[in-house]
């Protein structure tokens, strides 16, 4: 295989080929850096790249026997996640040039498994709504989504096989759906978030942007310290609940068509697909999640608010003002509501493996100022369930429209198993074009 095509391999395949001697960490890293050199002036997915440092890491891998499952695999790291040898600037001039003293837990774990940290990917300001410079690699005139904009764009544009993202609302799934890659938000608390800049501690979840579901299993084996096992595909067809959610009326035609089309085609392929109606108690989940986000974020960011307010965007200041003005009693009521819904969420999955639901309201918005509607993925973030976005459909402008699968609390393996079956089934040529 030519060096120039190594950047298109999955993380799983990179690890396999390096371990077998078919290629080297240096060759893979060079291919990724070549792609970045060729394309990132336009896409602007990276907040920090040091090619020499990346190649030094790669050469060190090639000079020793593999020590872990990720030996020689390049990864991108969202720029709110600490790295001791690179700046962590958080999309804000407040932290320009800031260098942490230690790696975040997730970075230390993947390094210990042999991964190469290729660089830091662009985040919106403090993983909020104020956009960074990143464009959608599918069409540079459109938003990549936020807040993990650089991670999704870098993976979509074959600059790196996988990258860390974080989600407090829809910050992994939405940019993945817009850019046409797989976004995975595990059950809340699955991956350790020490060393990740806090937004809302009741919601913040570390996750992944990949192009292949097997990469999720590979990275998870390192991040939760378990042996790597292949995903078992469902036997007899999975049981899927088509859940339009109370937000259905706000979805664009392309999203409605994608979800409906997926339901029909999965049923034809052998899945048992049933319509699921949600109890009234879930109707206000996203409004409550936004309240919790504002309240907790305003407390986490009090230092920046008092000492660097002139360096914060107007959008971020509005969130701070909202959060600081919220009474504690409203916050507690919101937390009780989300916890009640989460504890009762098993009832949604009665005789079901997963839920099929909208991921985004439609295609990516035109321009870079609007990162898109967070509500369809944020709805499930509020109750801490595992979710995955799959790039299965297209919209009227030919841009990706993802669907979302939702798993039962702490049932991530089943979610991933069904997701693999779903994406393989829906990769048939007849994707839905609206």
* pLDDT value at 232 more than 90: no
In whole angstroms, give the CA distance from residue 144 to residue 152: 8
pLDDT at site 229? 84
- Considering the segment(s) 3-223 as one domain, its CATH architecture is Alpha-Beta Complex (3.90)
| Residue % of the chain over a pLDDT of 90 | 95
Burial class (CB in 10 A: 0-12, 13-18, 19+), 300: middle
pLDDT tens-digit profile of 250-301?
999 999 999 999 999 999 999 999 999 999 999 999 999 999 999 999 999 9
pLDDT at site 427? 87
- What residues contact 138, with CB distance under 8 A and at least 6 apart? 156, 178, 179, 180, 364, 399, 400
pLDDT at site 114? 98
pLDDT at site 429? 56
313: annotated active-site residue: no
pLDDT at site 403? 98
Which is catalytic among the residues 92, 148, 151, 171?
A: 171
* pLDDT value at 2 more than 60: no
- What residues contact 52, with CB distance under 8 A and at least 6 apart? none
78: annotated active-site residue: yes
Which is catalytic among the residues 10, 143, 147, 170?
A: 147
298: annotated active-site residue: no
In whole angstroms, give the CA distance from residue 334 to residue 202: 11
* pLDDT value at 382 more than 50: yes
Q: Is the peptide bond before 48 cis (omega within 30 degrees of 0)?
A: no
pLDDT at site 428? 58
pLDDT tens-digit profile of 347-361?
999 999 999 999 999
Q: Where are the domains of the chain?
A: 3-223
* pLDDT value at 432 more than 50: no
Tell me what the mean pLDDT of segment 211-234 comes to.
92
In whole angstroms, give the CA distance from residue 258 to residue 238: 19
* pLDDT value at 46 more than 80: yes
pLDDT at site 21? 96
Least confident of 217-226, 243-252, 422-431: 422-431
Burial class (CB in 10 A: 0-12, 13-18, 19+), 41: exposed
Q: What is the pTM of this model?
A: 0.97
pLDDT at site 14? 98
**What is the longest distance spanned by two Cα atoms in the chain?**
61
pLDDT at site 154? 98
């Amino acid at each position: 295989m030519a060096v120039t095509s190594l950047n298109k391999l999955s993380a799983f395949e990179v690890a396999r080929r390096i371990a077998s001697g078919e290629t080297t960490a240096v060759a893979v890293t060079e291919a990724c850096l070549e792609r970045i050199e060729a394309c990132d002036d336009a896409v602007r997915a990276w907040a920090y790249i040091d090619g020499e440092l990346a190649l030094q890491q790669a050469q060190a891998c090639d000079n020793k026997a593999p020590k872990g499952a990720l030996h020689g695999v390049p990864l991108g790291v969202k720029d709110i996640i600490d790295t001791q040898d690179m700046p962590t600037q958080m999309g804000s001039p407040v932290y320009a040039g800031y260098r942490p003293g230690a790696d975040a837990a997730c970075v230390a774990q993947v390094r210990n498994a042999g991964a190469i940290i290729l660089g830091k990917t662009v985040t919106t300001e403090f993983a909020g709504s104020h956009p960074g410079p990143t464009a959608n690699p599918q069409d540079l005139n459109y938003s990549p989504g936020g807040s993990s904009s650089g991670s999704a764009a870098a993976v979509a544009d074959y600059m790196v096989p996988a990258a860390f993202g974080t989600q407090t609302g829809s910050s992994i799934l939405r940019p993945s759906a817009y850019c046409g890659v797989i976004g995975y938000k595990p059950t809340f608390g699955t991956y350790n978030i020490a060393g990740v800049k806090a937004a809302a501690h009741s919601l913040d979840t570390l996750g992944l942007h990949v192009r292949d579901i097997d990469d999720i299993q590979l990275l998870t084996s390192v991040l939760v310290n378990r042996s790597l096992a292949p995903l078992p595909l469902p036997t007899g067809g999975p049981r899927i609940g088509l859940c339009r959610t109370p937000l259905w009326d706000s979805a664009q035609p392309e999203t409605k068509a994608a979800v409906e089309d997926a339901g029909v085609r999965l049923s034809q392929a052998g899945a048992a697909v049933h319509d699921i109606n949600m109890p009234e108690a879930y109707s206000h989940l996203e409004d409550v999640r936004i309240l919790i986000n504002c309240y907790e974020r305003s407390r986490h960011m009090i230092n920046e608010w008092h000492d660097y307010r002139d360096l914060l965007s107007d959008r971020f200041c509005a969130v701070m003002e909202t959060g600081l003005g919220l009474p504690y009693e409203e916050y507690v009521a919101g937390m009780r509501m989300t916890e009640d819904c989460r504890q009762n969420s098993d009832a949604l999955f009665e005789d079901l493996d997963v839920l099929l639901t909208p991921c985004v309201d439609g295609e990516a918005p035109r321009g870079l100022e609007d990162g898109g509607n967070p509500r369809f993925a944020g709805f499930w973030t509020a109750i801490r369930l595992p979710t995955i976005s799959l790039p299965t459909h297209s919209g009227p402008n030919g841009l990706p429209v993802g669907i979302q699968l939702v798993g039962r609390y702490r049932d991530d393996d089943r979610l991933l198993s069904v997701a693999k079956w779903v994406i393989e089934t829906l990769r048939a040529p007849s994707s839905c074009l609206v």
